[in-house]
Each structure stands twice: as C-alpha cells, then as structure tokens.
Chains A and B, each alone.
Chain A
Amino acid sequence: MRIGVFICHCGSNIAGTVDCESVAELASGFPEVVYSTDSMYTCSEPGQEGIITAIHEQKLDGVVVASCTPRMHEPTFRRAVERAGLNRYMFEMANIREHVSWIGKDKEHNTNKAADLVLMAVEKLRRNRPLVPKSFETIKRVLVIGGGVAGIQAALDCADGGLDVVMVERDQSIGGKMAKLDKTFPTIDCSSCVLGPKMVDIAQHEKITLHTCAEIEAVSGYVGNFSVTIRRRATYVDWTKCTGCGVCTEKCPSKRSPDVFNEFMGTTTAINIPFPQAIPKKAAINPATCTMIQKGKCGVCAKVCPVGCIDYEQQDELINVDVGAIVVATGYDLFDWHKYPQYGEGRYPDVITSLQYERLLSASGPTGGHIKRPSDGKEPKNVVFIQCVGSRDRSVDRPYCSGFCCMYTAKQAILTKDHIPDSQSYVFYMDIRAPGKGYDEFTRRAMEEYGAQYVRGRVAMIYPHGEQLMVRGADTLAGTQVEVPADLVVLATGVEAAQGAVKLGETLRVVPDQYGFFVESHPKLKPVETNTAGVYLAGACQGPKDIPTSVGQGSAAAAKALGLLSKERLESDPAVSKVNLSRCVGCQKCIGTCPFGAIKAITDRQGKLKAEVIETVCQGCGICTVTCPQGAIQLEHFTDNQILAEVNALCPPKMNASFE
C-alpha cells in the first residue's frame, strides 16, 4: 500500500501549538507512508488539488489528512480522493485541531500527540478496503411535527415543492403561539391577518394532511424511509361530519373548562372551538369537564348538533404513515414565573404574563380587545412591564437570553398607549436587545413617541397597595430605589423548551441540550439539520426565535427536505455489518440485539442457519459485532482488526504472541 499523509496548519489554528513540519517528517517514517507533507489550508481548493496531484504523481492508494474533526470535513476530503480515482473509504482523518491544538498548551506534547493520532490513522488505513454504497428508494412524503408558524411555513414550502405533507399538531388547532398574539413587532400588523391565510392554505392544500389533537407515538426506520405512528386523541366529535357551526359550544352547560387558548384568562365550555379562525374549525370535548363523560348525564351537545357528530364513546386512534423526511417544529413554552417569590407567586391576580396580556389586547380575546385587569375589570392606567422573567438568570437555571421579549414588551407598551391614551407604561429592563431589521428603531419609538418609561434595573418585590400593586425595584442608572404604583403588572416571561421535547427527542433520536432545546448538527454550517439524517429542525424548538427567524428556518428545513427527496434514490452508507458465512454458527444473537431489525436468518445450501445483513436497513452501529461470539459479523470500516490496529498503534504489544 502507498499512503500519503497531509498535515494541515489550518492557518495558525493548528500550527500555533503543533509543529506541523516535524509531524509530517515523523509521518514519513510510518509504515507504508511514501509521501508526507504539510500545507496551510488542506481543505481549500489548492489544498485539495494538492491531494489529488499527489495521488496521481505518487500513485497513492490511501490518504491520511490530519486537520480538524472528521465530523466537519470528512465528506469534503472523501470527495477529493474520489475525484482522484480512489475509493472514498481509502481515506482516514486525524483530528489534530479540536482534540490537540485547541486544547493543549504544551507544543512538544501537542506535536507528539498529533504524530500519535496520525500513526493511528495510518494503521487503520492500512486495514481499510474499498466500500461501495448501495442505493434505495425514498418516500416522497414529509412529516411536519408542530403546527406553529415555523411548521406551517415548512409544510407549505414542502407541499408547494411537490411533496406530500403530513402535519401533526398537539393542540386542537394549528397556529401555535403566533395565533394567540394580537399584533406583531416591529410593524404592528395584525398577527391573525398574517397567519390566518397561511393556516387556511394548510387546510386547503391538496398535498397536506392535517392531524390535530395528535402526537407522535413512535418512529422507526431511517432517512428516506421512516415509519411513524401517530396517536390521535379522542375528541368525542366525528370531525368528518362536524361543520364547525358552534351551536354545541353555545348550548354546553358545563362552562368550567380552563381556556387554554386564552392562557387561562377565564373559562370556556367543555365542548369548544378554541378561536374563530381555528384550523380545522371543529369542536372537541374536554373529557375532564364534560358532565356527560364524567357523570353520564347531560348530552346537550348531542341533542343540539344538527349533523349528529357527537360521539361520547370515541377512542384514541393510531395512524401509521411512512415518510421520507421529518421536520420538527415543536416550538417553545413559557417559563413558569411562579418560581420567583418576588412577583407574588400567583397571589396577585393583576400580575399576568405577557402572553396573557396579549390575549387581553386581542379583539378575539376574553375581553373583546378592551384591556381590563383580571381582579376587578377596571381599565389600568399604570402598567408596569418587567423584562427578563426567566431569561438571563442563573438562579432559575435559565442563563440564556430569550431574544424577543425586549421587542414584544416595547410592542405591548405601544399598544397600551393605543388602547388607553391616558395610560403610562413603565418597563423594568436589564439591557435592551433589539438586533434586527427595524428593531432598535421600534424600541426607541416606544420610548420617544409613546412615552414608555424605561427603568434599568431589577424588581425586588411586588406588594399590594390599596387597589393597586406597588412595584419596588432598583434604578441602576440613577443609582436609586424606585417604587412604581401599578394597576397591572405584565411579566415578560422567557422561553423554555416545549413540554415533552425531551421525550420526543428520544423517539426521534434527536438530542436535546441541557435546557431541552434540540441540538443542530453544526452550530453555524448545519443549523437546521440534526445528527439523525432526514430529521430537520425549524423554529423555537432549536432555541428561542422570533417570528421572522422561525419562518426563515421553516423554509430552510423545507429546502433541506426537498433537496433530500428530490433524488430518486439515496445512497446508503456502505459502512455496515457484513457476515462471514464460514464463521457464522447461526446462533442468531445478532438478530436479537440489532435495534433496527437489519439482520435476518437464512439457510445456506447445506441447510445450515446463518445470519444475513439487510444492507440498506443496517445503520452501522456495530452492536452486533460485539455480540457475535465468533467474530463472524464485522462492521465494515470499524472491524475488530481496524480498531485493534489503532489500539496497537498507541500501545504497541511487545510480545509477538497473538491473543486473537
């Protein structure tokens, strides 16, 4: 074998703490290495050309590049060696940047370590063999989980691009958080006027199938061929018949149901359509508060329904669907502000969240768009906004900035003045973070045109003061304590990961970070991909995002899904398990351990039981390889011999005796 070694300087990223020339020199003495050099940026075009030229001139049949992590540029270099006519698996990478130069301070130690890693790669490469991928068909259908604005955008883009789309939404209607908003910053255009038509498009698009009141039960399969089980909760209403006329909701005598859509600002009927623009506009019964379901007496809705669609016996339904790609757009939830003692922990009815305030401002809200405070229904004159409730606060384990609270607080201050011209808004803030197009101008407008008083400081406590609340806090710019009487206090509650995100992540094999937000494949270059091929992220499930960014990411995820499924066939990774039939004793242990059902039992010509790997189903984990008592099933590209070669490179056996 003729191996070429290329040591990358990565500018000064590697060369700063690793002596790349001497690593290249050391490497020239490694077994079967016939060519060794170092270059400034190996991944650059001249760098790649250098590899290709060397392969031709030196007649190399294997290449080692020592540079950054293979998780970054392995595909790049594999393509390069392929362009030079080598098989892409005749390539190995040594990670001397993330694992050496960026973490070690001692140049001598770093250089030694880099040389060790190169030797490991060389020893592994010597045992590599060319692998050829198989191809398989893809299913031209996309699953979109979550019907908020990001999911809606992703679904519409995919459907317009010609793919079938299945949308799954946990709530009764799509629309997500945006449907609850009155106006949106920085244009103060009506939220439902912007979102409403898109929701209608979802309902009417011939390529989109919508399942609401539904959640993901199970996912199996792999990129291009996922098999998904959806659990649709019983709504006790036959939606194929329901026309959304709303007669049942008018007549329902049980009016104690918590009004989820209005953020618990009041109650609603047990059978309910959450809001006038709901998609699908169908009624559903809350079984916890329905007298008929709980006590077996009532049945008013069944009597008044003109189409007879009420079905008290309805059960949950499991729906199976096969898809080629999955877009996760499960959004976020609001931080539970009751964790803060200083805001009264819920003792004062006039302390509300910003989303509740949004419902008060909205014409479709519980007060018909008139701001009335919850305690006595009076119009508030002094409104105090408190920012960063559950953002940038380590004491409640939310050190991150939720990003858009500064903006919606400014918007709400402006809207307050619009609704009640003689009102005064006060905003307690830490810093104003308005980095978007027209955003800073917007917050300035709130201060300068609408007279919102911005106080830089935190609030220490809220206490009752006659009919009002007194908000005591610091004004750090003036260096004083301030007390502001408030008729209404609005908490700009921060963003946290949606409830159930961690569980969904387990189902989808998408890893959440420590706060429950899904981790993207690369923080800069792969912001919508996940580590599971064919699963993409959109919107706030990946981290706090405002509407424009969520929409942008929805489109980005759709573009990725469209790109993936535009290919007739996908290539499978050939680094899969392979059975050595002469060694296999047919014990079938591998079949039992494979998490993907990728191994089946066959009988050979002599009628003996053997294992066989279904190559397109095998995901290349290698669990079977360790399980096999005979060493008969080996994961290609990570065989026992290849891994042991790396071990032996690091710790050379002194005795010649073999224990294998």
Chain B
Amino acid sequence: MPAQDERELRIVGFLCNWCSYGGADTAGVARFTQPTDLRIIRVPCSGRIDPLFVVRALLNGADGVLVSGCHPRDCHYAEGNFYARRRLEMLKRFLPITGIDERRFEYTWVSASEGQRWQHVVTEFTRRIHELGPAQSFNPATQEEWFNLALNEASKGEACACHGS
C-alpha cells in the first residue's frame, strides 16, 4: 500500500539480518525515536540484495530506498557486503541514466551495536527524501495516465525527440 497521508513518504529498507537489522533492533530497544516512513525488509545478507530489488521498489513508486549491511570486513558471511558494495555502487551510478534521482537511493553500513548510528541514518535519509518530495510516478495505471505523463514532460521541454515538443 502506498504511504497513508502526505506527512509520510514511502521508504523501503533492505537490511541484513546480522548487523543492520540487529542495529535497528538495538535502536528500538534503546527507544531511539525515528521517523516512521521506513519499512524494513529483512534479508540474510546485504549480498542477497539484488540491485533490481531496489529498482523494482523505485519503479513501483517508492520515494526512497535504503540498504544497510555489516561494516566491510565484518560480514557474517565473510564477504557478502563486498559484493553488495560493488553492486550497489554500480546501481547508484546507473540510476541517473534511468531517470531516477540517485539521491533517492542510499546504502550504508550499521553494526548490531550501533543503535544510535541507525537512528541517525534513518533520520537523515528520511529528511533527505522529504526534501526531494514524492517521487515521480514511473508506473501509470492507465494508458491515459501514461499519455498525460508524456504530455507533462513535453510541456516542460524535457521530452525525448520521438515524442516531439
């Protein structure tokens, strides 16, 4: 379901089970208050996160996606976060090519003991997404909506050559 009201935006989090999910738990246990926009999906390792999950979330209308894993060298599976780092850095550089603002995506490292750091990461990222505002829709529901979108782009002079301006 999309965000409930305009005070909240839709932020999806992918967290590895061993460090960052634990860090988010630690933040909860310590009652470190955070914005409520974020919804967390638990995965075993940041190396399990397919960059296409992130893209899917953004295409589906997420306003922001946050990925967090164990600090480099601290991976529970020895090297999963190294794979994650390479894949996600590639994704970050690739996003603008697809027309998605790369600031809507961030990856970070938070260990299970860093509750305070998790609070900081969530607060900062949520603040950034709120500054960017709701994401532009990439998946119009109907043909008509799709057409309107193209027209809208065209009126801004940003449309591609084939659709004319």
Contact = CB atoms under 8 A, between A and B. Distances in A.
Interface stretch (A111-119, A148-156, A374-382): A111-119
A509 B76 contact: yes
Interface in B22-57: 22, 24-25, 27-29, 31-36, 39-45, 47-50, 53, 56-57
B78 A103 contact: no
Given A647-B41, A654-B140, A621 B27 contact: no
B33 A654 contact: no
A83 interface: no
B70 interface: yes
A97 interface: yes
Q: Which of A115, A595, A620 has the most CB of B within 10 A?
A: A595
Contact of B39 (A70, A117, A511, A621): A117
Given A102-B29, A622-B45, A511 B19 contact: yes
A652 B141 CA distance: 11
Contacts of A650: 1, 10, 12, 39, 41, 57, 62
Looking at chain B's contact residues, is the secondary structure mostly helix, strand, loop, or mixed? loop
B25 A622 contact: no
Contacts of B56: 644, 647-648, 659
B41 A643 contact: yes
A356 interface: no
Contact of A621 (B25, B45, B57): B45
B39 A104 contact: no
B112 A531 contact: yes
Given A595-B78, A647-B56, A651-B57, A621 B36 contact: no
A648 to B, nearest CB: 7
A517 to B, nearest CB: 9
A63 B78 CA distance: 33
B83 A593 contact: yes
Interface in B58-99: 59-62, 70, 73-80, 83, 87
Contacts of B19: 511
Contacts of B44: 575, 620-622, 635, 638
Q: How many interface residues does chain B have, given as a range?
A: 35 or more
Contact of A655 (B27, B50, B73, B139): B139
A622 B76 CA distance: 12
Contacts of B42: 70, 95
Contacts of B34: 103-104
B80 A623 contact: yes
A71 B25 contact: yes
Given A71-B21, A99-B28, A511 B111 contact: yes
Interface string A309-347: 000000000000000000000000000000000000000
A519 interface: yes
A110 interface: yes
Contacts of B32: 103
A98 interface: yes
Contacts of A519: 111-113
A651 B22 CA distance: 24
Contacts of A619: 77
A651 B60 contact: yes
B2 interface: yes
Interface in A605-660: 619-623, 625-627, 635, 638, 640, 643-644, 646-655, 659
A532 B27 CA distance: 21
A104 B2 CA distance: 19
B155 interface: no
A250 interface: no
Contacts of B48: 621-623, 625-626, 635, 638, 643
B152 to A, nearest CB: 17
A217 interface: no
Nearest to A506: B73
A220 B1 CA distance: 44
Nearest to A116: B39
B8 interface: yes
Given A69-B25, A102-B29, A120 B113 contact: no
A382 to B, nearest CB: 43
Nearest to B47: A623
Nearest to A109: B36
Given A99-B24, A619-B77, A638-B48, A655 B39 contact: no
B99 to A, nearest CB: 16
Given A651-B60, A655-B139, A105 B33 contact: yes
A648 B17 CA distance: 20
A117 B44 CA distance: 18
Contacts of B7: 109
B60 A99 contact: no
Contacts of A625: 48, 50
B125 interface: no
Interface in A21-51: none
A653 B22 CA distance: 30
A112 B1 CA distance: 10
Given A650-B12, A651-B12, A654-B139, 18 more contacts: A69-B21, A71-B21, A71-B25, A98-B25, A103-B31, A104-B35, A112-B8, A113-B39, A117-B39, A120-B39, A531-B18, A595-B80, A623-B45, A626-B49, A626-B87, A635-B48, A643-B48, A651-B10
Interface of B: 1-2, 4, 7-8, 10, 12, 17-19, 21-22, 24-25, 27-29, 31-36, 39-45, 47-50, 53, 56-57, 59-62, 70, 73-80, 83, 87, 111-114, 119, 139-141
17 contacts: A72-B25, A95-B40, A95-B42, A99-B28, A103-B119, A106-B36, A109-B4, A109-B36, A511-B70, A511-B74, A623-B83, A626-B47, A626-B49, A638-B43, A640-B50, A643-B41, A647-B12
Sort A-B residue pairs by CB-CB distance and give the 5 closest, nearest first: A98-B28, A622-B48, A651-B60, A621-B77, A654-B141
Interface of A: 69-72, 95, 97-100, 102-106, 108-110, 112-113, 115-117, 119-120, 505-506, 509, 511, 513-514, 519, 531-532, 575, 593, 595-596, 619-623, 625-627, 635, 638, 640, 643-644, 646-655, 659
